[in-house]
Amino acid sequence: MSNSVDLRPASTGQRAAEGTLERPMAQAQPGAIVEPEGEIAITIENLSLWYGPKQALTNVSMKIPARKVTALIGPSGCGKSTLLRCINRMNDLIPTVRIQGSLYYHGVNLYGPDIDPVEVRRRIGMVFQKPNPFPKSIYDNVAFGARVNGFKGNLDQLVEQSLRRAALWEEVKDNLKKSGLALSGGQQQRLCIARAIANQPDVILMDEPCSALDPIATLKIEDLMRELVKDYTIIIVTHNMQQAARVSDYTAFMLTDEQVTGQLVEYGPTEELFTTPKDRRTEDYISGRFG
Amino acid sequence: MQESLPITGASAQLRGAELERAMRKRWSKAPFERLIVLSLWLCGTVSMITTVLIVLTLAEETRAFFMEVPLRDFIFDTKWTPQFEPAHFGVWPLVFGTLNVLFWSMVLALPLGLAAAIYLSEYAHPNTRRILKPVLEALAGVPTVVYAFFALTVVTQDILRPLLGQDRVPIFNALSASIVMAVMILPTIASVSEDAMSNVPRELREGAYGLGATRLEVAFRVVFPAALGGIIAAVLLAVARVIGETMIVAVAAGSTPQITLNPLNSVQTMTGYMLAIGLGDSARGTVDYTSIFAVGSTLFIFTFCANVAANIIVKKFKEQYE
């Protein structure tokens, strides 16, 4: 465990002191960032990210609990999608990106020199903002991950189970050969969730999964999330505060202000964050005063 | 307090007949508009009429040819010796000349061109692509006569003969023509396919990466099928150029019509024959002369069929992502 970062208070104090030497930082309120109880799936430590010369995340540190829904909220440009995409190394696909800090998945540093991002993404699946089924049949969409990952087993069964899990089976079971693009927006998004589930991941990242959907389709996806969280760790980015309040167990509020881009302002159990926010900026945001 | 700007202007106050008049089509704009439409129509019609005239001329001279030579001979005879006695007019030796060069140039250019396209679209750094693509496209600007003499001198004399043996490689051979033809069409295949692949939406790629696909899997399982329509169009463009290319085959491939796909033979293609006779002194109305049109019609039928086939293939296999 020589690779893991020392969490003793003296060390963190030292770290903060070094930070202040470099430049004044808007400190999070004491106690505003809570450590969740129970098993931790992902630990983010002092994560900073730059797109070329432009900084997008600054010193984000948080622990994400296993088998819970964690919501990342905040106004546009606060870095919540960027943070989400760090977790399965999606940002690696952007040529100019630079990342500092570390991100542990069950104790393994995902940005370690010998870690293959492809293996990371097999364990940490993703559902995108715009439903993006492949222009292939429904069956081939769900089977895609299994096929590229050399799945040895009953593919038909896997496809059926995944579609059932995504609450789509009853609607498509007679048309598995039909193109995934022939489905409605909400169905397409559930197909994308089924596709992610078929990979048998541990964590599912969702980047504003309902922003392109109507309210009824949105409710279906939200119900599905509550159902899936019994087995999976779900991290969701959302613009919609009601959605965060409805589906998540923990909520993180992020913000970009004049001094710091992409900082984590407050993080804790959803109910506490929405009823008794500890930071003034969180209170302003959730009461609709800006953003 | 400052007086607020009225939200509705005067035009929003009109009602009834006045409103109707204000919303009528304005014919004062019409003459100019009509002039534009007319000139566009003319441009379209001229090119259409030209095409029709070309086809008519081709058909008329071809008909004259078949007055002299039975269609049966043209299709079933296996020799093409219009200028010897006894004259034979079996078109297959010329067709095979074309197929020979087409086949071997595609064998060389397809894998290279598609690999280049996949590299440029999926692997290359944006800066690399910015430099490489124009360089590649510059290859398409080389005049074919330069390629032709390059095939005859450098490829045949300096490469093929030392490599495979003087006695096995005739001075005129299909392989040298195929090789330079492959170089000539490589940029077309690579560049047009690359455009089609780059146009595949980023979301599709991200979806595949998010499922743990490697770059190669993303390229072959998602991007390639989604771009297939454009890729086939690219290949078809290349096929059309090879079939229609005249200078390279006339100079480098020889003038021996024969039914063979062996690239080390000397062959004559359809275009090669047409050029050879067209340059000669065959008088108008002779069989020699009209045979050019018969061969031209054959060529036309081949490219036409290739086009139709490609359209069917594209419709059948293309993965629509819109």
Q: How many CB atoms lie within 10 A of CB B129?
A: 16
Phi-psi region of A234 (alpha: psi -120 to 50; beta: other; left: phi over 0): beta
Backbone angles phi, psi at B309, to 5 degrees: -60, -45
Q: Is the pLDDT of residue A20 over 60?
A: no
The residue type at B234:
A
Asked if A132 and B320 come within 8 Å (Cβ–Cβ), the reply is: no
Angle at B305 between CA B302 and CA B308, to 5 degrees: 155
Please state the domain extents for chain A.
34-286
Run of H or E including B113: helix B92-118
In tens, the pLDDT along B183-242 reads: 999 998 999 999 999 999 999 999 999 999 999 999 999 999 889 888 988 898 899 889
Helix boundaries (H) for chain A: 9-22, 80-87, 117-123, 138-148, 155-165, 169-172, 185-198, 215-228, 241-247, 270-275, 280-286
Q: Give chain A positions within 8 Å (CB) of B208.
A: 134, 144, 148
Is residue B224 exposed (0-12), middle (13-18) or buried (19+ Cβ within 10 Å)?
buried
User: CB distance from B184 to chain A under 8 Å?
Assistant: no
CA B196 to chain A, closest CA, distance in angstroms equals 15
pLDDT band at B319 (very low <50, low <70, confident <90, very high): low
Question: Is pLDDT above 70 for A13?
Answer: no
In angstroms, rounded to a whole number, what is the distance separating the alpha carbons of residues B33 and A46?
64
CATH fold of B81-317:
MetI-like fold (1.10.3720)
CATH class of the region A34-286: alpha beta
Q: What was the pLDDT predicted at B31?
A: 80
Q: How many CB atoms lie within 10 A of CB B27?
A: 8
CB contact under 8 A, A132 and B213: no
Residues whose CB is less than 8 angstroms from the CB of residue A228 and which lie 6 or more positions away in sequence, other chains included: A165, A193, A197, A204, A234
Residue of A nearest to B321 (CA): A135
Proportion of chain B above pLDDT 70, given as a percent: 94
Which residues partner with B88 through β-bridges?
Answer: B81
Between A15-29, A44-58, B289-303, the lowest mean confidence (pLDDT) is in: A15-29
Q: Is A126 on the interface with B (CB under 8 A)?
A: yes
Looking at residue B56, what is its pLDDT? 94
User: Structure tokens of B206?
Assistant: 């991200």
How far apart, in whole angstroms, are the C-alpha atoms of residue A154 and residue A145?
A: 14
A119–chain B Cβ distance below 8 A for any pair: yes
- More reliable by pLDDT, A54 or B169: A54
Q: CB-side exposure of A77: number of CA atoms within 13 Å?
A: 8
Q: How does the average pLDDT of chain B come out, rounded? A: 87
Q: Does position A62 have pLDDT exceeding 60, yes or no?
A: yes
Partners of A55 in the beta sheet? A50
Per-residue pLDDT reduced to its tens digit, B36-56: 999 999 999 999 999 999 999
Mean pLDDT score, A262-274: 93
Cβ neighbours for B133, distance < 8 A, ≥ 6 positions apart: B120, B191, B194
Strands A250-255 and A263-269, by their bridges, are: antiparallel
For A251, left (φ over 0), alpha (ψ -120 to 50), or beta? beta
Q: Which residues of B touch A94 (CB under 8 A)?
A: none
Q: What is the complex's ipTM, to 2 decimals?
A: 0.82
DSSP symbol at B221 = I
| Residue B134 pLDDT exceeds 70 | yes
Q: With a cut of 60, say whether residue A84 has pLDDT above it.
A: yes
How many whole angstroms separate alpha carbon B242 and alpha carbon B259?
A: 18
Q: What distance separates the 2 farthest-apart alpha carbons in chain A?
A: 64
Which is nearest to B140 in space by CA: B196, B182, B193, B194?
Answer: B182
Higher pLDDT, A235 or B278: A235
Largest distance between two CA atoms of chain B = 107
Cα–Cα dist A232/A66, whole Å: 7
Q: Which residues pair with A42 in a beta bridge?
A: A64, A105
* Residues B232-270: tens digit of each pLDDT: 888 988 998 899 888 899 888 888 888 888 888 889 999
Give the lowest-confidence range in A129-133, A227-231, B160-164: B160-164
Q: Is B213 an interface residue toward A (CB < 8 Å)?
A: yes
A125 to chain B, closest Cα gap in Å: 6
Q: How far apart are CA A99 and CA A47, in angstroms?
A: 7
